[in-house]
Amino acid sequence: MTDTPPPEPEVVETPKQAKKRRTRLQLAMLVLGCVLGGLVVLVAAALFGGRLYIVSDAGRELVTGFVQGQKISRYGRINVEGLKGDLFDDFSLSRVTVTDRDGVWLEARNVRVDWSYWALLTRRFHATDISADVIRLIRQPVLDPPSGEPPSPQAISIDIDRFSANVELMEGFSKEYGR
């Protein structure tokens, strides 16, 4: 004969125990739902508040501070002035310059950009219209030496539907003035 343990007695749950277990599960689900709902409200408030902050004067100054002096490959550094408008839709810059070690070599005045920030979710910059009153190429840029590393692909693709500007080629750029 084999030694088999006797069958365990069947535990019968009383209605009071079942209700107590059910109420604990309901309480846990209520707490979880409140926490998730609170997180959703908090994220929505942060996104809405962040958008409102970015379109305020202080937010525009913050964005200008991020862009100011950023290196543009071997061509120098970008500087922006006079940011106005909604950064998420249609904004303008009173002056944009690119400088190298000898100073400003490119200047753009009254630049307007009409774009969609939603395309950034797919790693694409899409502008429906970019315009400038005048873009002046003052002189040939002094390029930084190549880094020796092979060029890497762009982080985002750029798509511009319409671009318009008066371009002035100064004597330092093209030996004679051109427009």
DSSP state of 179: -
More confident residue, 29 or 1: 29
86 and 47 both lie in a single domain: no
Give the pLDDT band (50/70/90) at residue 20.
Answer: low
Closest CA to 71 of 82, 79, 60: 79
Q: What percentage of residues in the chain have a pLDDT greater than 90?
A: 35
**pLDDT computed for residue 14 by the predictor:** 66
Residue 59: what pLDDT?
82
In a domain, 7, yes or no: no
Please tell me the predicted confidence (pLDDT) of residue 9.
64
Instruction: Check residue 144 and report its DSSP letter.
Output: P
Question: How many Å apart are CA 87 and CA 117, to the nearest integer?
Answer: 9
> What is the span of the domain harbouring residue 77?
70-147+155-174
Provide the whole-model pTM: 0.68
User: What is the model's pLDDT at position 11?
Assistant: 61
Q: How far apart are CA 166 and CA 107, in angstroms?
A: 12
Indicate whether 62 belongs to any domain: no
pLDDT at residue 1 is higher than 60:
no
**95 and 41 within one domain:** no
